[in-house]
Amino acid sequence: MSRYAVNKVLWQVARDEALAAEYKDAPEKFLTDRGLTTEEFRQLLERDFAALFAAGAHPFLLFTFRIKISGGWSYPMMVEHVKALADIDPPLDIST
Amino acid sequence: MLPVVNTDTRYQFIQFDGSILNAQTTQMAKIVHLSVVPHDPVLPGIGRDGRPVGPDARRLLDGIARMREGLAASKPDIIVMAGSDHLCQFFFNNMPPFLVGKAERIAGPPGYEQRDWGLATYDAPIEGRLARYILTQGFEHEVDFAYSDEFVVDHAFSVPLNFMRPQADLPIVPIFLNFLAPPVPPAKRYLKLGGIVRKIIEEWEPDLRVAVICTGHMTNGVGGPYMLRHTQRPESEWDRTVNAAILRNDVADLVAHSSWDEMYAQGNNTPGFLGFIFAYGVASGTPFTWHDYVPSKMQPLMILLEWTEDQLNGGQT
């Protein structure tokens, strides 16, 4: 597990327009050679928000990542995000 | 005897209108205002474009307006503002627990926050002399501040500053406190830090009036599964417990309920309460002058706090 590497992907996509475009255009290429496990690679490729959250990805980063790849914030997107995470017991330790 | 006007340029401050303010050196700087102001990025847009304003939001906006008037009445020369970075620029590759910003200007928020929430920018000079004094005296007081000469502030600074001083006519000293990226220092360190920052300001030689604005959260789960919980349950047991301690001015109890685990369990951004703890450090035991507690189904619960000059200085003003 590399929570740091996962958070770094979330952070770069959420904060950097050029890197967000790279992730959107060629996600497999973007995620390669970043020290991600096979499962983390899958989670970020398939945008499996529930699995990322359950594994301890930073929730605020995860949400801002989602805002970015959704093209901006919207109420329905927020409701969908909460629904996706609703059945997970939040991990208390999210430190890297 | 008339006060002596000090013409030592170390104590001359060029004001916005170009005139020179001669600070007297016979007295030290004084804390004249302390407040805790929300930074919820949704708040500034409430009522925009003629949309209706709900009663809870009205109460919050009226409370903030009251504190803005309190700040103006305190006639500050400088604002010290303590807030967080929302993983906007600081990241796990290099994460400062406490940081003094000493660039030429304080400016923000970044473009993505302006777009996502329609936020206005804030741009004001930084009072570099006080920033450097807090930094170096912090070392003397065993606080190992990080510092930055190039940074941006996110909504944690721009929203409270736009609410409290929209004319952006005062120099600011920004202090970043890590609320968001664990591990963070224990709450007792934020309390101690607030007290040390106050002591440093009050030991600064220019006879200037310094306001301190802090920001933080009560129960808040933005980004996590509890993000909309307030729509069903506007306040938690933790909120009620903490508010009761605030009403009793029971700072030890506030600290006791501010462990990362206890706060985080309420919602992932609740450790932002550490901004309140810092404010209580600045207050150094003085009870607040004014307070409001606003649970709502429309936005996360918020507490507003204000201390006036007279209150902060033991009724000696």
Q: In this complex, is the C-beta atom of A90 within 8 Å of any C-beta atom belonging to chain B?
A: yes
Cα separation, B271 vs B42, in Å, equals 19
Q: In this complex, is the C-beta atom of A59 within 8 Å of any C-beta atom belonging to chain B?
A: yes
Q: In this complex, is the C-beta atom of A2 within 8 Å of any C-beta atom belonging to chain B?
A: no
Q: What is the pLDDT of residue B116?
A: 84
Q: Do B112 and A15 touch (CB under 8 A)?
A: yes
Q: Which among A59, A88, A95 has the least Cβ separation from residue B223?
A: A59
Residue B10 has pLDDT above 60, yes or no: no
Cα separation, B196 vs B81, in Å, equals 15
Q: Which residue of A has its CA nearest to B86?
A: A60
Contact between residue B126 and residue B104 where contact means Cβ atoms under 8 Å apart: yes
Q: Which among B93, B224, B261 has the least Cβ separation from residue A59?
A: B224
The residues, ordered by sequence, that sit 6+ positions from B251 with a Cβ below 8 Å of its Cβ are B191, B245, B280, B285
Confidence of residue B4 (pLDDT cuts 50, 70, 90): very low
Q: Which residue of A has its CA nearest to B85?
A: A60
Per-residue pLDDT tens over the stretch B150-161: 999 999 999 999
Per-residue pLDDT tens over the stretch B165-206: 999 999 999 999 999 999 999 999 999 999 999 999 999 988
ipTM above 0.90, yes or no: yes
Confidence of residue B315 (pLDDT cuts 50, 70, 90): confident
Chain A residues touching B88 at Cβ < 8 A: 15
Q: Mark residue A56 as left, alpha or beta (left: phi above 0; alpha: psi -120 to 50; beta: remaining).
A: left
3-state SS assignment for residue A44:
helix
Q: Do A58 and B86 touch (CB under 8 A)?
A: no
Q: Do B228 and A88 touch (CB under 8 A)?
A: no
CA distances from B228 to B38, B65, B210, B236, B266 (A): 18, 27, 38, 13, 12
Residue B312 has pLDDT above 80, yes or no: yes
**Sign of the four-CA dihedral B95, B99, B105, B111:** positive
Q: Which among B183, B222, B226 has the least Cβ separation from residue A60?
A: B222
Contact between residue B34 and residue B307 where contact means Cβ atoms under 8 Å apart: yes
Contact between residue A77 and residue A87 where contact means Cβ atoms under 8 Å apart: no
Cα separation, A34 vs A25, in Å, equals 17
Confidence of residue A86 (pLDDT cuts 50, 70, 90): very high
Q: What is the pLDDT of residue B23?
A: 57
Per-residue pLDDT tens over the stretch A11-67: 999 999 999 999 999 999 999 999 999 999 999 999 999 999 999 999 999 999 999
Q: Do A85 and B117 touch (CB under 8 A)?
A: no
Q: Do B116 and A72 touch (CB under 8 A)?
A: yes
DSSP string of B72-89, one letter each residue: HHT--SEEEEEE---SSS
Q: What is the pLDDT of residue B18?
A: 57
Q: What is the pLDDT of residue A15?
A: 94
